[in-house]
Amino acid sequence: MSGQWTTWNSLPWLQQADENGTTVQLGDRILQSAASCDSVADFIATTLPDIASEFGVQWVGVVDRWPQWSVQHEFGRQQFEGLPVRFFEEVFDRDGGGLSKLDQPSDWSAVATPLKNEANNQSLIILAGRRVDSADVGRVVAIARVFHYCLEAVSQRGRRIHQSARLRETLRVAYRLSEIFETVPLLEALAEEATRILDCDRASIFIWDQPNKKLLACPALGVEGGTLYIPDNAGIVGTVIYSGETIRVDNAYNDDRFDSSVDKKSGYRTTTLLTVPLLDGDGRLIGCFQGINRNEGVFDEDDEDILGQLGIQAAIALRNTRERARLLSTHRQLTEQMASSVRIIGDSTATAAVREKIERLAPTDLPVLILGESGTGKEVAAQSLHYHGPRVDEAFVAVNCAALTETLLESELFGHEKGAFTDAQDTRKGKFELADGGTIFLDEIGDMSLGGQAKMLRVLEQKVITRVGGSVPIPVNVRIVAATNVNLAEAVREKKFREDLYYRLNVVTLDLPPLRERPEDIMALAEYFLRQFCPQARRPVLEFTDEARRRVLTHGWPGNVRELRNLMERVAFLSTGEKIEVEDLAFILSPQQKDEAELGVDVGLSQATSRFQGQYIERAVKRASGNMSEAARMLGLHRSNLYRKMRQLGMNVPDEADEDVE
């Protein structure tokens, strides 16, 4: 732009108007001011006094013709009531500079030249004073043109600076909006920012409820609750909704589209309005954004552009907020479902002790080692620790350590970088990273290799992992819950499990008793599983016959709760009667009990029968926790008959049995 200014010194009309070079020098000074000023106000304050001094006049001004003749910029003191409109019109009729004697007592004269700005609005630059004569007309015309071009350049630069500042503000607003996750606070923040950036009195966002043909206005100042529902076809907002076009209004009450009913309700008076449509990422109209009552003047194209930019940010933020709210709601529902489904069922003393211990451990971050036979519910206990603790909203990640080979363990637990090995096509997070903030459940940790144990110990101590093929340490915040059916103390003695890892994990131990040691829980668990599976099988919840109940209670349950659950699922879907009969109970023997249950054919029938009866009575006594009266009831015998039968079979009989012998 400075190159354009320098060419003006050689303009013929400027050279011809200047006799001694002072006009050229003034033009240079005007150009220098234009180059150094970022605002019209600064440029006017610097330039008009210099022009007045050069021509020796008492007043210099720029007068606009639209919408009516008015002084836009001036310097000096007018010692007359005003310049006549007739004078302005005459100058425009000549299409050049004009000199006029004013009908004033002080005998002032004025010279003016017409200009046109980029908006094609007609303007005059006028010099007035006692010493103005016809010889000044050419010089005034020359300087007026230089001044006009520079004024337009400064004005454009000022608008660009202003637009740049506003765009920076929209970026700041976008950053602020990214930290707001609820719809109403988001809308209020958007309105607050729009009010500040547009320099207006108020702003509102209207969200379109298209199925109900309503608009939700938020914030609606002066309305109770801060929100307002209006018909989607009412007023200027309704016009924008159905046309999809921006509307600017300079005088609301003179516009037939304006709905004044809201003003009447709130006592507010609207004058100027700017309303732009809100579009989502797919280009669908979801509402509109409105600025109300500009503090100075009326809304212009720059305001329209910036409100449009804010509208884009608003639509994106609203979509993200709604999506986040939907995901949070879904996550909350799933978490509640999981928490309600993870229950420790049973009323036995052992089960009550486990439940109480879990309640005490859940709020802590202590590592927990869960011990118990296969099928006793170790993962259910781990989930209960997680879903009833402070990490409930974070991830619960279960890892079967027995299934991880030495080569896969590091990649599965700690992740890997792209290209770390042959099949590493992409970067992948490991289980520890996925569980960050939540709980990681290391099931069957007793079966982990010694090399894997060493790597696990390092992570537990340092709380930092490094992906395979990576070098950046990644901190992780997880709660460790481990489980095993292996006797770890014995494994440590046999050098099959690291002693330091054992002590690291064994901060708190949770022992889960096998089902055979808590027979009073058997029916509670069976009925709980039936209440789950029968509705899935679309049938009423089944009940047990007395014989079936007795058979369930006397079974050894080598597979523990898992076996009971599988049996109840099979019964719920496959049994044909209205009640569960003994014939419906097809027990599956575990490998550990197979040899014990299968009596060889090398013994006689009498001996095999006696051996079976002894085993059966032993299981019944265990189910009854040593209560012989209860065991006799389960077996369908009188207690004295039970003692007699035990003696016949050569079994150990409690001392109290002697009291029953006649």
What is the Rg, in whole angstroms, of the alpha carbon atoms belonging to the chain? 45
The pLDDT value given to residue 595:
44
In a domain, 331, yes or no: no
End-to-end CA distance of the chain: 126
Domain boundary among 295, 325, 355: 325
Q: Is the dihedral of CA 205, 208, 212, 214 positive or negative?
A: positive
Asked whether residue 97 is assigned to any structural domain, the reply reads yes
Q: What does DSSP assign to residue 468?
A: B
Tokens at residue 370, please? 């869960």
Residue 340: predicted pLDDT: 66
Give the residues across from 277 on adjacent strands.
288
Cis upstream peptide for 84 (omega within 30°)? no
Q: What is the mean pLDDT of residues 489-509?
A: 90
Range from 235-239, 279-283, 355-359, 655-659 carrying the lowest mean pLDDT: 655-659
φ, ψ of residue 241 in degrees (nearest 5): -60, -45
Domain boundary, last residue among 575, 594, 613? 594
C-alpha 437/C-alpha 594 separation (Å) is 45
Query: How far is Cα 331 from Cα 394, in angstroms, rounded to an integer?
Result: 10
Residue 336 belongs to a domain = no
Which of 261, 294, 325 is the endpoint of a domain?
325
Find the DSSP H helices in 494-604.
499-505, 522-536, 546-554, 560-574, 591-597
The reply to whether 170 falls in a domain is: no
pLDDT band at 329 (very low <50, low <70, confident <90, very high): confident
My answer on whether 524 and 403 are in the same domain is no
Same domain, 509 and 520: no
Report which residue type is found at 46: T
If DSSP codes are grouped into helix, strand and coil, which group holds residue 528? helix
Give burial (CB, 10 Å; 0-12/13-18/19+) of 455. middle
pLDDT reported for residue 421: 79
Q: Concatenated DSSP letters for 200-260? A: EEEEEEEEEETTTTEEEEES-TTSGGG-EEEETTSHHHHHHHHH---EEES-GGG-TT--T
Report angle CA 566, 571, 577 to the nearest 5 degrees.
Answer: 175
What span, in angstroms and rounded, lies between the C-alpha atoms of 73 and 83? 14
Q: How far apart are CA 27 and CA 514, in angstroms?
A: 102
Give, as one character, the DSSP assignment of residue 45.
H
With vertex at residue 65, the alpha carbon angle to CA 63 and CA 71, rounded to the nearest 5 degrees, is: 25
Both structure tokens of 314: 């608003």
Element (H, E) at 413: helix 406-414
456 lies in the same domain as 523: no
Token pair 């400075």 in the structure block, residue: 2
**In terms of Cα–Cα distance, which of 649, 650, 646, 651 is closest to 661?**
646
The Cα 657–Cα 472 span in angstroms is 72
Going from the C-alpha of 584 to that of each of 404, 474, 569, 647, the distances in angstroms are: 38, 54, 12, 34
Q: Are residues 364 and 435 in the same domain?
A: yes
Residue 553 lies in a domain: yes
| 457, two tokens | 């110990």
90-108 residue pLDDT tens? 666 655 444 555 545 455 6
| pLDDT above 80: residue 296 | yes
Better-scored residue on pLDDT, 72 or 401: 401
pLDDT confidence band for 78 (50 / 70 / 90): low
Rounded to whole angstroms, how far apart are CA atoms 462 and 28? Answer: 72
CATH of the domain at 8: 3.30.450.40
CA nearest neighbour of 157 among 47, 297, 40, 307: 40
| Residue matched to tokens 């974070």 | 394
- Residues 104/110, Cβ–Cβ less than 8 Å: no
Distance CA 239, CA 215 (A): 12
Asked if residue 482 and residue 376 are part of one domain, the reply reads yes
**Is residue 44 a part of any domain in this protein?**
yes
Q: Is the pLDDT of residue 662 over 70?
A: no
Cut 0.75: pTM above it:
no
Residues 315 and 421 in one domain: no
For residues 492 and 523, membership in a common domain is answered with no
CA gap 525, 300 in Å, rounded: 74
**How many CB atoms within 10 Å of residue 80?**
15
Q: At what angle do helices 22-36 and 40-55 cross, to 10 degrees?
A: 170
Q: What span, in angstroms and rounded, lies between the C-alpha atoms of 398 and 385?
A: 13
Minimal CA–CA distance to 440: which of 431, 449, 448?
431
Cα–Cα nearest to 510, from 309, 616, 619, 351: 351
Instruction: Please name the residue that has the structure tokens 């110990």.
Output: 457
Q: How far apart are the C-alpha atoms of 442 and 620, rounded to whole Å? A: 35
* C-beta separation of 194 from 203 below 8 A: yes
Asked if residue 483 and residue 354 are part of one domain, the reply reads yes
Mean per-residue pLDDT, 114-138 = 61
Q: How many domains does the chain have?
A: 5
Same domain, 520 and 539: yes
Beta bridge partners of 164: none
Q: For 615-653, what is each residue's pLDDT tens digit?
A: 778 877 877 777 888 888 878 788 888 888 888 888 888
CATH number at residue 397: 3.40.50.300
Is residue 202 located within the same domain as residue 103? Answer: no
User: Do 501 and 382 have their domain in common?
Assistant: yes
Determine the average pLDDT of the residues in 148-166.
Answer: 82
Separation of alpha carbons 87 and 109, rounded Å: 11
Q: Quick check: is 172 in a domain?
A: no
* Residue 97 CA: distances (Å) to CA of 32, 112, 125, 126, 127: 25, 5, 10, 10, 11
Which pLDDT score is estimated for 477? Answer: 92
Q: Write out the E strands in 25-101.
A: 59-64, 70-76, 98-101
| Mean residue pLDDT across the chain | 80
- Give the whole-angstrom CA distance, residue 364 versus residue 381: 15
If pLDDT is split at 50, 70 and 90, which confidence band does 13 have? very low
Band the pLDDT of 368: cuts 50, 70, 90: very high
Q: At 615, which CATH number? A: 1.10.10.60
| Pair of tokens at residue 483 | 């489980």
CA 79 to chain centre: 66
What is the reported pLDDT for 21? 72
54 in Cβ contact with 78 (< 8 Å): no
Residues facing residue 127 across a β-bridge: 60, 111
CATH of the domain at 572: 1.10.8.60
The CB density around residue 6, as the number of other CB atoms within 10 Å, is 10
Do residues 578 and 652 both lie within one domain?
no
Print the SS3 string covering 289-338: EEEEEECCCCCCHHHHHHHHHHHHHHHHHHHHHHHHHHHHHHHHHHHHHH
Report the distance separating Cα 273 and Cα 304, nearest Å.
10
> Which residue type, as a one-letter code, is found at position 467?
R
Cα–Cα separations (whole angstroms), residue 163 to 120, 174, 191: 22, 16, 19
Domain contains 167: no
Residue 7 belongs to domain spanning: 2-161
Q: Per DSSP, what are the bridge partners of residue 352? A: none
Three-class DSSP category at 506:
coil
pLDDT digits (tens, 9 = 90+) for 554-576: 888 889 999 999 999 999 998 88
Sign of CA dihedral 350, 353, 359, 365: negative
d(CA 36, CA 110): 30
Of all residues in the chain, what percent carry a pLDDT higher than 70?
A: 81
State yes or no: pLDDT of 36 exceeds 80.
yes
Q: How many residues does the chain have?
A: 662
Please determine, for residue 255, whether its predicted confidence score (pLDDT) is greater than 80: yes
